[in-house]
Amino acid sequence: MISRMVRVAIALLWLILPLGVVLWQSTTASFEGALSDAFRALSGSAWLTFAVTLITSLIVLFGALGLARGKRLSATWTSFIAVPHVAFAIGLLWLVSPSGWLVRIVDALLPMWQGPLQSSWLSSKSAFTLMVALVLKELPFLILMAQANVQQMPVLRWQQQAQALGYSRRRFWWLIVVPALLRRIRLPLYIIAIYTVSVVDIPLLVGPNAPALLAQAVFELNWQFNSNTQGLVHWGSLLLVLVAIVTLVVLRVVEWVLQRWLSSLAASGKRTPVAQTTGKRAGLPWFWAGLAVIIFISLLLQSVQQSWFYPSLWPQGWQWSRWLAEWPYIAPLLYNTWILAVLSATLAWLSAVALLEVQAQRQQHQLHVGWLAMLMVPQLVLVLGWQQTIGPDSGLIGLLWSHTVFCFPYAYLTLHGAYHAYPRRWLWQARSLGYGPWAAWFKILVPMLKRPLALAWAMAFSISVAQYLPTQWLAPVTHPTLTTEAVSIASGGDWRLGSVYALAQWASVWIVFMLALWGTRARN
Amino acid sequence: MVFKYHQLVIPSLTVSAGEVLTLTGASGIGKSSLLQWILGVPQPDITIEGQIKLNGEDVGALPIERRQIGLVTQQVDLFPHMTVEQNLLFALAAKQGDDAARHDWVKQELDSVALADYATAYPTELSGGQAARIALLRSLASAPKSILLDEPFSALDVKLRKTIRDFTWTTLTAASMPAILVTHDVQDAPGNIVNLEDYYYD
């Protein structure tokens, strides 16, 4: 009874209250008109958001289904996934922009090249660039999720059976494994889709401006403090929910159609012999490693270059003093970022561990989607609701609350598999030897699960570091962070200075992940 | 014990010092659940009513750590992040005695089973037979009043199984330890056998 009341209270605070506030404000706002007017004003943005989200989600889905077959991405790759989106986007932009590094390499290799590119679809701010950034960032996440699920299936036994029946490995994968996998990766796919619907910082950096994505448009409208635009903000945020729901419905239909099609192919009994592939190249760990390294180097060079004219491959002039000159500005941001991230990651981690322990004691091993609900609602709507409830500059407590809410599901997701796979009999053994439940937990479970526990904390830390919207809307004056400043500077067009902040942001996350991996390496 | 699809009504069972009571029966009938209930592990999906008395004292309401019942399982369950010596010291830690005395005790015990050279080895470096010996020593190190054996020989090959079985019965007899064994194989049973299928109701 008490646990149910606690759950209801948490749901009220997390979801129902902010959503209710936004809904209430929408219906009582002085904006003349209603959803139809808002849709007219924001229809271009809404359609663009729907298209970008759907295309990104489908590319990520099919990419993950194809690449999950291969070599498993190791735990180290979680550190790549945790690279802050903002740092990733700033680095990637320099890489793929019309006069960027990739084009310069092509220029150097092909003398007849008439670069730089003049194409608008590959411009530094376009829907295409945005989708490239999102696909490259989200694809490894879904590959990891897919591979974690594949590990739980008796794929090798199935494969032996299918091959004995004359099916190639590739056909076996698509006809047998993929239908089973689709349902299992539905949740992470929906998380990616909702994130894409609601993301603000990446479109500010690399997205189109006219029309802007819906979340970006609502975000910018919310800075115009007049009653007319406030009404539009509320209806716009509800439109965002509508776009999210429609996207999820379409993704569900795509899954259903794919399932039916693969089932009919399987029922046809056709065996199309293809060359045997080892599958070792799939998963492409080298690609992600290379991309991370190139983006990192790109940021580093940008941060210290003084002049770097086309088509030169390397900067012509250096300005090492930029870091020193920026330090007085970066230091307080680093402090704000770390304090907030350490506190919110710790709170989120403790909540996730407590929840997992309670679930393990009750033998509830399934992932509870209800605890991930905050990832299934566009972030902008939730944060707008909190902003309306607690005010636009709520200080550290409000900010801490919002960061913890978004860190918690990632800590829970990261730790869930390892915690529920942990055999509880180890704890019974310790208790049968005379140790109490706390002593058994600290002396036996914690040392054995130290790496997943540490990675879950590091993941929560990285989520907090990457938060843009909650920080910008709940405490923009009192608690600016590396992320808010990096976006402000880079979206203003100063990529060199933006790279300095992006690197400081990346380094913060990277240091924590490396410490987590190094500090929990196995002795035996 | 009321399960989802069946129930077991078991009469009073008594195990004397140095005696081994063997519980057997088909898979899924509830042997391990019964053992876990005796140990004190909550069984959320099963309704169990009954009493557990150790030397006449009702321990049914006590938590696991205060029941003084040891456990040896098929998986051996030596803590993988601890060396052999640390595993034994962990079991001894609750007892009185200074560090030197506890280390001496561990050395003696390892000598008695010819495993003194493995004190600093991790469980993954032990053979199945060596790990089984250490697991039994560890359970006894905390001086339990009784011990539960959950299919402790089923992961061993035929030759090793007999060796470890003999070692276990000899050790338990020497310690005058009452024990309950759960097994599928009646050849494992040294004495009194109770087939739970005799107490099965749909």
Establish if A5 belongs to a structural domain: no
Establish if A304 belongs to a structural domain: no
Q: Does A358 touch chain B (CB under 8 A)?
A: no
pTM over 0.90: no
Instruction: Compute the average pLDDT of residues A40-51.
Output: 88
User: Rounded to whole angstroms, how far apart are CA atoms A15 and A241?
Assistant: 13
> Coil, helix or strand for B161?
helix
Q: Which residues of B touch A432 (CB under 8 A)?
A: 39, 64-65, 67, 69-71, 139, 142, 144
- Answer yes or no: do A263 and A327 share one domain: no
Alpha helices in A307-445 (DSSP H): 321-361, 379-390, 395-421, 425-432, 437-440
The residue among A271, A298, A329 that closes a domain is A271
Half-sphere exposure of B150 (CA within 13 A, CB side): 23
Pairing of the two strands B20-24 and B179-182: parallel
Query: Which pLDDT belongs to residue A253?
Result: 97
- Answer yes or no: do A56 and A164 share one domain: yes
- Answer yes or no: do A265 and A371 share one domain: no
Q: How confident is the model at residue A73 (pLDDT cuts 50, 70, 90)?
A: low
- Answer yes or no: do A157 and A238 share one domain: yes
- Answer yes or no: do A81 and A145 share one domain: yes
Asked whether residue A23 carries a pLDDT value surpassing 70, the answer given is no
Establish if A300 belongs to a structural domain: no
Establish if A296 belongs to a structural domain: no
Q: Which residues of A touch B141 (CB under 8 A)?
A: 433
Q: Distance, in angstroms, between A416 CA and closest chain B CA?
A: 21
Q: How confident is the model at residue B3 (pLDDT cuts 50, 70, 90)?
A: low
CATH code of residue A35: 1.10.3720.10
Asked whether residue A294 carries a pLDDT value surpassing 90, the answer given is no
Query: Which pLDDT belongs to residue A368?
Result: 78
- Answer yes or no: do A374 and A262 share one domain: no
Query: Which pLDDT belongs to residue A229?
Result: 75
Establish if A282 belongs to a structural domain: no
Query: Which pLDDT belongs to residue A196?
Result: 95
Least confident of A191-195, A205-209, A391-395, A509-513: A391-395
What is the set of domains in chain B, with CATH numbers?
7-81+142-201 (3.40.50.300)
- Answer yes or no: do A332 and A258 share one domain: no
CB contact under 8 A, B36 and A434: no
**Averaged pLDDT of chain B:** 86
Asked whether residue A80 carries a pLDDT value surpassing 70, the answer given is no
- The DSSP output letter for B176 is T
CB contact under 8 A, B64 and A523: no
Closest CA in chain B for residue A435? B65
CB contact under 8 A, A428 and B142: no
Phi and psi for A402 in degrees, rounded to 5? -65, -40
- The DSSP output letter for A306 is E
Tokens of A36: 């139809």
Q: Does A431 touch chain B (CB under 8 A)?
A: yes
How far, in Å, are A17, A35, A100, A392, B92 from residue A225 at the CA level?
Answer: 23, 20, 38, 11, 69
A474 burial via Cβ count (<10 Å: 0-12, 13-18, 19+): buried
User: Rounded to whole angstroms, how far apart are CA atoms A152 and B130?
Assistant: 31
Q: How confident is the model at residue A284 (pLDDT cuts 50, 70, 90)?
A: low
Phi and psi for A476 in degrees, rounded to 5? -65, -30
- Answer yes or no: do A228 and A377 share one domain: no
Domain containing A465 equals 320-524
Q: How confident is the model at residue B185 (pLDDT cuts 50, 70, 90)?
A: confident
The residue among A214, A239, A271 that closes a domain is A271
Instruction: Compute the average pLDDT of residues A328-335.
Output: 93
The residue among A271, A294, A309 that closes a domain is A271
Q: Which residues of B touch A361 (CB under 8 A)?
A: 42
- Answer yes or no: do A343 and A256 share one domain: no
Establish if A303 belongs to a structural domain: no
Percent of chain A exceeding pLDDT 90 equals: 34
CB contact under 8 A, A432 and B45: no
Q: How confident is the model at residue A233 (pLDDT cuts 50, 70, 90)?
A: confident
- Answer yes or no: do A329 and A200 share one domain: no
- Answer yes or no: do A67 and A188 share one domain: yes
CB contact under 8 A, B91 and A425: no
- Answer yes or no: do A261 and A398 share one domain: no
CB contact under 8 A, B94 and A423: no
> Coil, helix or strand for A152?
coil
Query: Which pLDDT belongs to residue A427?
Result: 94
Q: How confident is the model at residue A273 (pLDDT cuts 50, 70, 90)?
A: low
Give me the residue from B45, B68, B79 closest to A444, CB to CB: B79
Percent of chain A exceeding pLDDT 70 equals: 84
User: Rounded to whole angstroms, how far apart are CA atoms B190 and B50?
Assistant: 26
Q: Does A425 touch chain B (CB under 8 A)?
A: yes
**ipTM of the assembly?**
0.85
Domains contained in chain A, number: 2
B180, B144 in Cβ contact below 8 A?
no
Q: Which residues of A touch B70 (CB under 8 A)?
A: 432-433
Gyration radius of chain A over CA positions: 24
Q: How confident is the model at residue A421 (pLDDT cuts 50, 70, 90)?
A: confident
